[in-house]
Amino acid sequence: MPTQTVDVASVDEIPEGKVKTVTADSLRIALCNYGGTIYAIDDVCTHDGGPLGQGELEGKEIECPRHGARFDVTSGQVTALPAVRPVRTYPVHVSNGRIFVDLSS
- Give the model confidence (pLDDT) of 33-68 as tens digits: 999 999 999 999 999 999 999 999 999 999 999 999
Q: Could you tell me the residue range of the domain that residue 16 belongs to?
A: 5-102
- CA-nearest of 93, 98, 101 to 41 is 101
Contacts of 49 (CB under 8 A, 6+ apart): none
3-state secondary structure at position 5? strand
Can you name the residues that pair with 80 across neighbouring β-strands? Answer: 70
What pTM value is reported for the model? 0.95
Give me the percent of the chain exceeding a pLDDT of 90.
Answer: 92
For the residues 87-103, what does the mean pLDDT come to?
97
Number of domains the chain contains: 1
Q: What is the CATH number of the domain that holds 97?
A: 2.102.10.10
